[in-house]
Structure 1
Amino acid sequence: MIRIAAASAHFGRDLEFDLRRIAKLIDDARRAGARLLVLPDAALGGYLADLRHPDPDALPPALDPDDPLIKRVGELAAEMVVCVGYCEADGTRRYNSAACVSGDGVLGRHRKVHLPAGEIAAYAPGERFDAFDTPVGRVGMLIDYDKTFPESARSLALDGAQIVACLSAWPTSITNRAPRMAQDRQSRLFDLYDCARAAENQVILASSNQTGAMGGMRFLGQAKVVGPGGDILARTWSKAGLAVAEVDVAAEIATARRVLSHLDERRPGSYRGAL
């Protein structure tokens, strides 16, 4: 059995403040007995302030993949496994990226593949979905819009991922904002994608998200841990905090796949350009 935690929290441009908040969340997760903590997208440096017309002079700070701040998150993680989002610098290109770290260093990386319209002006797209081994099992990462596409999580599941970590900075609808967050179209879709991606691949999914506001955007929160049947095991709703669930990962997945094993029962030859 392991405890998995997914965080809802706000992060901005002040990297030192972000690091202090990350340290607090790691401490809270450790006190809750968590061995895996999934932090939101852009936890180091904050997300874009405007998705429709990003200001090129107000983008998140771009960090080298081996930046001391990422190393510091690993040191804070120590015996835990922590997934953290940041803006990655690679020459003149920027990527919306995530690193999975522990006290032993970087265990895995992901560059966001699917970019919504506004992000194309700020980031280059990644090209791959790869799972990797960690002390809590085989893990794969998605960054917010990635989970809209079933192929993303399916690629990770086919690569052996038992746990899919979804790091998000997912806002309410920009074009049709509802008077109440619970009624917002994006709020419904955020939960729908989380549950669907877990159920269709029969994996554990840990979904983090930002809270609060940046520029004209208001973030949903709604961090959660989802079981391989698509059932929500723990959630924060719209508030900041940790969703923590205790899961026997291997046993839960084996039970879910005992009669109907979705990955084994695929018919790839019948699909058009799909996995």
Structure 2
Amino acid sequence: MTTTLAAVSANFTRDLEQNYTLITTLTERARAAGVHFLVLPEAAIGGYLSSLGNHGDTVRTTKKSLPPAIRLDGPEIARVQQIIGDLTVAIGFCELADDGETRYNSAAILDGTQVYGTYRKVHQPLGESMSYSAGSRYGVFDTPVGRVGLQICYDKAFPEAARLMALDGAQIIASLSAWPAARTATAQNLQDDRWTYRFNLFDTARALDNQVFWVSSNQSGTFGSLRYVGNAKIVDPGGNILATTLLDSGMAVAEVDLDATFRTTRAGMFHLRDRRPDVYGPLTAPTAFHEAGWKAPAHA
């Protein structure tokens, strides 16, 4: 039995109607291609922050440029569900917590009738914590396309995140991003940019590390001061890129056989089976335990 996976590279803005129109177009394309699981980017509802770092958007400085904060049971998610129908979709958005104030950079996996799982971004880069609170857990969810884990953007730089989900039985990990090019010394050809290189390397490494299917979406084009690198892709458990958009907006689509691929890939070296947790103790030690070793030596 085969499953068709799709990862999107597209530009989503503050204009919710633009977002819904784009989701409709992408859903129609996915249906025409026989897609079962469609992964949209981080912040596909309402767009991402317009800048990062010390001059980034923050709750403290402005509310004009912040993504709209929405509730899981709000009209925005309901509108998306109405659009996608029976297609299983992962989508990113700014989630408003029950207290009416706390905001999370979140993702959900859903179809027209059910939300199968949600995730709040754990790892925050370049001052993102000034705009969002951090999540504190990773989950794996049973869906019509198999067991799926969710992560967002910078999470892919941390092997522990994907490994936790693989150990929880994830067959597919959906990695939703708004990953920009480098802010300094940006390459003239963004495909050669060092941040593009890292984005692509993390995708292939995490798929191979855990021998899972990796579905990586990303924003494309520009928003505020950010230039996104696209490169949505499908990676198989051997680290092979099956389809990619490169820098362009579009949809990377691949038809895969989950069970047959796992049998073949894991027949010899099965990374999850061959782990040695008994020697990994320092990985869970408090951060302070390691800080002395991280500090650069003082110059005379």
The count of corresponding residues between Structure 1 and Structure 2 is 275
* SS at 2:188 equivalent: coil
Structure 2 residue identity aligned to 1:6: A
Contact 1:170 1:210 in 2 (8 A): yes
Pairing 1:244–2:246 present: no
TM-fit CA distance, 1:107: 0.7
Matched with 1:13 is 14
TM-fit CA distance, 1:68: 1.5
Matched with 1:97 is 106
Matched with 1:54 is 56
What pairs with 1:72-87 in structure 2 (closer than 5 Å)? 72-87=79-94
Alignment gaps of 5+ in structure 2? 285-300
Q: Does 171-180 or 213-222 show the bigger shift?
A: 171-180
TM-fit CA distance, 1:273: 3.8
Structure showing greater radius of gyration is 2
What TM-score comes out, normalization by structure 1 length? Answer: 0.98
What pairs with 1:174-189 in structure 2 (closer than 5 Å)? 174-189=183-198
TM-fit CA distance, 1:152: 0.6
TM-fit CA distance, 1:186: 0.5
Distance 2:260 2:87 in 1: 21
Contact 1:73 1:101 in 2 (8 A): no
What is the percent sequence identity of the aligned residues? 50
In structure 2, do the counterparts of structure 1 residues 4 and 18 end up closer, same or farther at CA, with 3 Å as the change threshold? same
Pairing 1:198–2:199 present: no
Q: Does 264-273 or 243-252 show the bigger shift?
A: 264-273
Structure 2 residue identity aligned to 1:84: I
Distance 2:27 2:14 in 1: 20
Contact 2:49 2:56 in 1 (8 A): yes
Structure 1 residue identity aligned to 2:76: L
TM-fit CA distance, 1:118: 2.0
TM-fit CA distance, 1:74: 2.0
* SS at 1:193 equivalent: helix
Distance 1:233 1:170 in 2: 20
Contact 2:95 2:104 in 1 (8 A): yes
Question: Cα RMSD between the aligned structures?
Answer: 1.1
TM-fit CA distance, 1:78: 1.9
Q: Does 204-213 or 53-62 show the bigger shift?
A: 53-62
Which of structure 1's runs of 4+ aligned residues deviate more than 6 A? none
TM-fit CA distance, 1:104: 2.4
TM-fit CA distance, 1:54: 2.0
* SS at 1:147 equivalent: helix
What TM-score comes out, normalization by structure 2 length? Answer: 0.90
Distance 1:107 1:273 in 2: 34
TM-fit CA distance, 1:73: 1.6
